[in-house]
Structure 1
Amino acid sequence: MTDLARSGAVLGLLTGLGLLLVWRGLPRHRQAGLAGRVLPYLKDTPRPSNLLTNDTPAKGVVATLFAPLVGELGGHVERLMGGAASVRQRLLRAGLAPDVERFRAQQVIWGVSGGSLMLALGTLSALTRGSSPVLVVLLTGIGAVSGFAGADWFLSHRATRREQRMLAEFPTVAELLALAVGAGEGAVGALERVCRLSRGELSDELRRCLADARAGASLPVALQGLADRTGLMSLTRFVDGIVIAVERGTPLADVLRAQAQDVREEGRRLVMEAGGKKEILMMVPVVFLVLPVTVLFAVFPGFSFLNFTM
């Protein structure tokens, strides 16, 4: 197959995909969504007040045109991959709104970007080096799958990093709560004082708990929401200790100090475990670099003397 034939095959494939997308996007092939079916019956309703509208930035023309397509592709990805409960939990752990549809749309954008990049590289390779069109299609699929998996991995990584920051802040916050309670503050007053004086991920979660408590929820229920949004066992034990202390009248300051000490001990244990796991990796440069050089320096003078005497 000549270069001209390969170029024609690639261009024909791209043209066919474009015509297929145009045919798929015709009005008679579209299925009306819930908003499209209900909106004609709501035209006579009075407009709501501007005070109740969200201050969201206006979307551009490109975003407006491609939003339905991205939403439809996100629905297909959700049906294929599933795991909406896991995604919602990781979004909460990452401090984001539990909007699974928005994450699926972002995942589609990541996949399309990866597929487009690999398609461009494969097309360039086909035009310059005469690669097979099958390789171009394979690279495009690999790029799309890598984009989908990369978005999922980035969400998990973001949730893990946020929980690590919360775990690092937890002993200090627990000590501040213990000092405030020991000085005569109540549980709510101590939380308000700590949230006012501290900054960080854990402080933001405590502010959210206080907002839930001011909205009508009891303090134990609000703190239980904090435990449900995070995946840290230390925070779960911390919340359970506060809830039991508030409900049964146990001295709260002692409970908070014990929780802070437990977290410090757990952090020390994690550091020791990480050091034990890194011990094998530390032996690699010693065995393969330092030890051979030492043996070489010890043996080379003897070989040189033998060669000299011979």
Structure 2
Amino acid sequence: MSGAAVVAALAGLLTAVALVELAAARGERAGARQAAGRHADEAAGSGAGRLRERLLALLARLGRQAGAPAAPRDLAERLVAAGEPFGMTAGDAMAVKGGAALAGVSAAVPLGPLLPGRLGLLVALALPAGAFLALDLWLMRRARRRGQEMERELPDLLDLLRVAVGAGLPLERALGDIGRRTGGLLAREWRTFAAQVELGLPRERALELLGRRCPSVRVAVLVRSLERAARHGAPLGETLSAQAREARAADARRLDERAARAAPKIQLVVALLLVPSVLLLVGAAMLAAFTG
């Protein structure tokens, strides 16, 4: 393989990676403007942030001009679970995906003839497909990270909610006060729920939207408990206490599993780095002694 082929292959791979990175940067910037209190991009006003925004806008414009495909039914749900990054609708996301695919094609066309055998055809097919699916993979990873972060916040917030509800506060008032006085993703989503109810949205609909914005199994269980309590007037104190205990137990199990996985890694570091370094020192000392 010639040097030109290697450079072209690297350029194609970097194009796909850059698309995902641009989507992430645009999502962080636009999230600061969302009423739901999503992630803010601290570097939004920087020159790099503005450059990334222009590049992403160009990519979306390219996809719209070429004719973006129809959005699948679950794309809107995945966008909501991922925090609606860069304020996109499903149509905007498909425009970005179409523009990414065209960028992949533009990188694969000059690269394919340079590669030997069927490798060129494989790259010509895989690079546009990978660029088209890059946004989906990023949304999946973002939703998973959001869910994990919410689950870490959940035990403490459940205790606060139990105390607030036990003191006689209405549900939306309790969730809103906790959301305003604490930080984190889940607290901001609670604050959004309270704001929606204050603006006249029915509580059942606001709870449904809260569950859609929180990609976590434990938060989904909490939302169902809140829905049952709002519908039937059931007391929440014992339910919240039990869920808080279960969440802390799950966190403890996760930490134990991480510690168990860390032990072999530590042993590997000791075996491959520390032991040879000590033997080198001993060998150097012995060599110095033998050679005078």
TM range (shorter): 0.5 to 0.7
Partner of 2:101: 111
How far does the alpha carbon of each residue in 1:69-125 deviate from its partner, in whole angstroms, 9 at most, with x for none?
232xx24xx6xxxxx3443332121122784333222112222223324546x39x9
Distance 1:245 1:222 in 2: 14
How far does the alpha carbon of each residue in 1:240-270 deviate from its partner, in whole angstroms, 9 at most, with x for none?
3333444454442343333233222222221
Distance 2:228 2:206 in 1: 14
Establish whether residue 67 from structure 1 lines up as the match of residue 93 from structure 2.
Answer: no
**RMSD of aligned Cα (Å):** 3.9
Establish whether residue 88 from structure 1 lines up as the match of residue 76 from structure 2.
Answer: yes
Uncovered stretches (5+) of structure 2, i.e. residues with no partner: 1-56
Partner of 1:266: 250
Distance 1:61 1:285 in 2: 46
Distance 2:82 2:140 in 1: 8
Distance 1:133 1:300 in 2: 52
Establish whether residue 100 from structure 1 lines up as the match of residue 90 from structure 2.
Answer: yes
How far residue 283 of structure 1 moved from its aligned partner, in angstroms, is 2.8
Partner of 2:260: 276
Report the identity percentage: 24
Which of 183, 186, 210 is the aligned partner of 1:226?
210
Verify the 8 A CA contact 2:148 2:216 in the aligned structure 1: no
Establish whether residue 179 from structure 1 lines up as the match of residue 163 from structure 2.
Answer: yes
Verify the 8 A CA contact 1:119 1:140 in the aligned structure 2: yes
Distance 2:150 2:99 in 1: 30
Matches within 5 A, 1:21-100: 67-71=64-68, 74-75=69-70, 84-96=72-84, 99-100=89-90
Distance 2:258 2:265 in 1: 11
Larger C-alpha radius of gyration, 1 or 2? 1
* Larger relative contact order, structure 1 or 2 (CA cutoff 8 Å, min sep 6): 2
Of residues 206-215 and 293-302 in structure 1, the stretch that sits farther from structure 2 once superposed is 293-302
Distance 1:199 1:260, change over 3 A: same
* Structure 1 length-normalised TM: 0.59
Matches within 5 A, 1:195-210: 195-210=179-194
* Structure 2 length-normalised TM: 0.62
Verify the 8 A CA contact 2:97 2:135 in the aligned structure 1: yes
Verify the 8 A CA contact 1:242 1:255 in the aligned structure 2: no
Uncovered stretches (5+) of structure 1, i.e. residues with no partner: 1-59, 79-83
Verify the 8 A CA contact 2:172 2:197 in the aligned structure 1: no
How far residue 302 of structure 1 moved from its aligned partner, in angstroms, is 7.3
**What is the aligned length?**
233
Distance 1:167 1:245, change over 3 A: same
Distance 1:278 1:114 in 2: 39
Partner of 1:29: none
Distance 1:291 1:245, change over 3 A: same
Verify the 8 A CA contact 2:59 2:100 in the aligned structure 1: no
